[in-house]
A and B are shown apart, each in its own frame.
Chain A
Amino acid sequence: MSTAQSLPALAADFPAPQIAYSALSPMVAVFGAALIGVLVEAFAPRRARAGLQLAVALLGLLGGLLAVGLLAGTREVTAVGAVAVDGPALFVQGTVLALGVAAMLLLAERSLESGGGAIVAQAATVPGSADERALVGTDHLQTEVFPLAMLAIGGMLLFPASNDLLLMFVALEVLSLPLYLMCGLARRRRLLSQEAAVKYFLLGAFSSAFFLYGLALLYGYAGTVSLPGIAAATQVTASNDGLLYTGLGLLTVGLLFKISAVPFHSWTPDVYQGAPTPVTALMATGTKVAAFGALLRVYYVAFGAIRWDWRPLLWVIAIATMAVGALLAITQRDVKRMLAYSSVAHAGFILTGVVAATRAGLAGSLFYLLAYGFTTLAAFGILTLVRDADGEATDLSSWAGLGRRSPMVAGAFAILLLALAGIPLTSGFTGKFAVFSAAADAGAAGLVVVAVVCSAIAAFFYVRVIVLMFFNEPAADGPTVAIPGAFTSAALALGVAVTVVLGVFPSPLLKLADQAALFIR
């Protein structure tokens, strides 16, 4: 063979890249479970698929959690500088994985609908067609939603750990694309669901384009896409500031879209409302946590040196986000939309922690993300329980007097709402206190004042729902509260328990967040 001699030579000057798979093990576990899920979809008989898929997904997620636990304390950059496994990354990954377990349980609940769960029987059938009507009452289920959810969660794990913008972009797409799809898979009100999916897809693709453009400009500025590389460039050169600031701005647009901060929030209520509620729960918690993880890394690692330039910008956005979220939530007549606007407002509260740009701000943001995630997930989980003939009854008026019919569910919901409002002895209060005090210490007292005012406004509409549930007469044809199955019960119990425990006894987690709050640079 005349070429046999030349090939070893080729291999010699092309050494394989070093990748520490142990540091990537949470991602490997989740992506591996997703791939197994795809294979299950291809080879397992239909009857066995739903159970098998859930088992594979939970194994993957719990394996990932275990890996995060074992990795605790690791500070390592691997995969040729593309991935940084450090405290904040692991904290966010752990949070996302735990939220993923709960969301997966919600997704797997099949006792609420007639056998099918919240996910469509067959996405390819035309809404309103005879095929669809024939399938809606059966136990058919589009089980591909499990591997898709796992792929999205995998992207969420990678997003906050990305140490270069290119990987961050790919991770952004990996977490977004399955979510676009899953938004369109609601079993009931399918046109609304499909509209939500298209809306999310178009706007999401648009925001990804912003991110990519920002990436390109920053590459033009720094000559590298790695975050430490960009940080080094901001410290050395004073030229080409136009590229730096425009790139940073465009990059920020892409990130702010994912955390649904004003003015990039307008998709949030429509998409949250249209998507199947378990998917909304995953979107409102996992995506937001992961996106904040990435946002924190971008701002703290790459642009830490120029924080005096971006802090005013984020200051304005945080105020706008809190105000718009809180004020618009008041006007909502739909519980799901109200929760969507509440998630917008919470993005603003967490941004106050980002604005602090200190270690305390980072720790506070991490704590807040975990607390907010569990509370919101459980709140969306309760939405799946309140049903009438058309499926979930999300109209605010139909929730009147719910506390008299079903004190358990209404009581749990009240606790969650109080936590979202930030009432003491709940996790929400601890979280708000952590980020606000960090911001105040960092000299953003004005922002904190605005944030406290907005919290008060927001508390108004949370408390209004509680009043409605407990002190109003139930409507005659009001919705019923379904008995949650084991999966939903487990997810709700987890959410409520975390909410209460973190309110009463927050110090261990606060300490953990404080220990974790150090980016590797």
Chain B
Amino acid sequence: MTTKDVVFGALGLLACCSGVLVVTARNVIHAALWLVVTLGALAACYLLLTADFVAWVQVLIYAGAIVVLLLFAAMLTRAPVGPGQDLDSGNRPAAALVAGGVGVTLVTLLVQAFRSAYVDLDRVAGTGAGRPIGDALFRSYVLPFEIASVLLLAALVGAIVLTRPEIGRR
């Protein structure tokens, strides 16, 4: 049990707890903020696993951009931004049961599968750095990477179709 293990465990706990708070928060904005904490804690976990590129991309993209967009959407639309009761429905217990079941199953599964797995961080250090990631993206997975751009194009066109009226123009 090194300091690193303790910190890693604490971050994991933080991520889990704030994850629960994301779901239980009565206020959309607070939920989004707890999501930031979750994502930040995950980024810190990546850092501890010596994947610094992944970690900072996680902060930049997820915590820094996507949740800001979420907040933005919540504030711009007529969604209730104050504390509201209508965030929950009567299905709460059922949802909790399903989520708990899935969680327990997955944890059991992963613990069982990787109980004796051991990764020497010194040996794999840098696999999450910029160069190996670039190598994976532009060589091993170049086609999925390029096709993902097609997917984004479709989303872009779709967003314009759904939102931008063009009455009588041109």
Q: Are both chains from one complex?
A: yes
> Which A residues are closer than 8 A to B by beta carbons?
14-17, 19, 31, 34-35, 38, 41, 45-46, 79-80, 82-83, 122-125, 131, 134-135, 142, 144-145, 147-148, 151-152, 154, 158, 164, 166-167, 169-171, 173-174, 177-178, 180-181, 184-185, 217, 220-221, 240, 242-243, 246
How far, in Å, is B93 (CB) from chain A's closest CB? 20
Q: List 25 A-B contacts (CB under 8 A).
A: A14-B138, A15-B139, A17-B142, A35-B153, A45-B170, A46-B170, A79-B142, A80-B143, A82-B141, A123-B161, A124-B164, A151-B150, A164-B144, A166-B141, A169-B144, A170-B147, A170-B148, A170-B151, A174-B150, A177-B155, A177-B158, A181-B162, A184-B162, A220-B113, A221-B113
> Which B residues are closer than 8 A to A by beta carbons?
105, 109-110, 112-114, 135, 138-144, 147-148, 150-151, 153-155, 157-158, 160-167, 170
**Taking chain B's interface residues, is the majority helix, strand, or loop, or is none over half, making it mixed?**
helix
Q: Is the CB of B143 within 8 A of A167?
A: yes
- Which of chain B's residues have a CB closer than 8 A to the CB of A242? 109, 112-113
How far, in Å, is A381 (CB) from chain B's closest CB? 24
Of A45, A83, A144, the most chain B CB neighbours within 10 A belong to: A144
Q: Is the CB of B167 within 8 A of A122?
A: yes
A492–B40 CA distance with the chains assembled, in angstroms:
56
Other-chain contact of B109, A124, A170, A243 (Cβ < 8 Å)? A243
A15–B140 CA distance with the chains assembled, in angstroms:
11
Other-chain contact of A181, B110, B158, B166, B167 (Cβ < 8 Å)? B158
With known contacts A170-B148, A181-B161, A82–B154 Cβ distance under 8 A: no
**Taking chain A's interface residues, is the majority helix, strand, or loop, or is none over half, making it mixed?**
helix
6 tightest A-B CB contacts, nearest first: A181-B158, A124-B165, A79-B143, A82-B143, A240-B113, A151-B154
A158–B143 CA distance with the chains assembled, in angstroms:
10
Given known contacts A158-B147, A167-B144, A178-B158, what 4 new A-B pairs fall within 8 Å (CB)?
Answer: A15-B139, A123-B162, A174-B150, A174-B154
Q: Is the CB of A14 within 8 A of B135?
A: yes
- Which of chain B's residues have a CB closer than 8 A to the CB of A164? 144
Other-chain contact of B153, A19, A38, A180 (Cβ < 8 Å)? A38
Among residues of A, the one whose C-beta sits closest to the C-beta of B164 is A124
Q: Is the CB of B154 within 8 A of A178?
A: yes
How far, in Å, is A359 (CB) from chain B's closest CB? 28
Of B114, B139, B153, B154, the most chain A CB neighbours within 10 A belong to: B154
A381–B86 CA distance with the chains assembled, in angstroms:
43
- Which of chain B's residues have a CB closer than 8 A to the CB of A217? 109
Q: Is the CB of B154 within 8 A of A124?
A: no
With known contacts A131-B165, A242-B109, A177–B154 Cβ distance under 8 A: yes
A453–B131 CA distance with the chains assembled, in angstroms:
59
- Which of chain B's residues have a CB closer than 8 A to the CB of A80? 139-143
- Which of chain B's residues have a CB closer than 8 A to the CB of A14? 135, 138-139
Other-chain contact of A144, B138, B139, B142, B157 (Cβ < 8 Å)? B157
A406–B1 CA distance with the chains assembled, in angstroms:
82
Q: Is the CB of B138 within 8 A of A17?
A: yes
How far, in Å, is A159 (CB) from chain B's closest CB? 11
A83–B146 CA distance with the chains assembled, in angstroms:
13
- Which of chain A's residues have a CB closer than 8 A to the CB of B155? 177
A477–B105 CA distance with the chains assembled, in angstroms:
58
Among residues of B, the one whose C-beta sits closest to the C-beta of A194 is B162
Among residues of A, the one whose C-beta sits closest to the C-beta of B163 is A124
Q: Is the CB of B151 within 8 A of A174?
A: yes
With known contacts A184-B162, A242-B113, A83–B151 Cβ distance under 8 A: no
Other-chain contact of B143, A19, A147, A181 (Cβ < 8 Å)? A19
How far, in Å, is B41 (CB) from chain A's closest CB? 19
Q: Is the CB of B165 within 8 A of A122?
A: yes
How far, in Å, is A515 (CB) from chain B's closest CB? 27
A19–B147 CA distance with the chains assembled, in angstroms:
14
How far, in Å, is B83 (CB) from chain A's closest CB? 25
With known contacts A38-B153, A45-B170, A170–B144 Cβ distance under 8 A: yes
A134–B141 CA distance with the chains assembled, in angstroms:
49
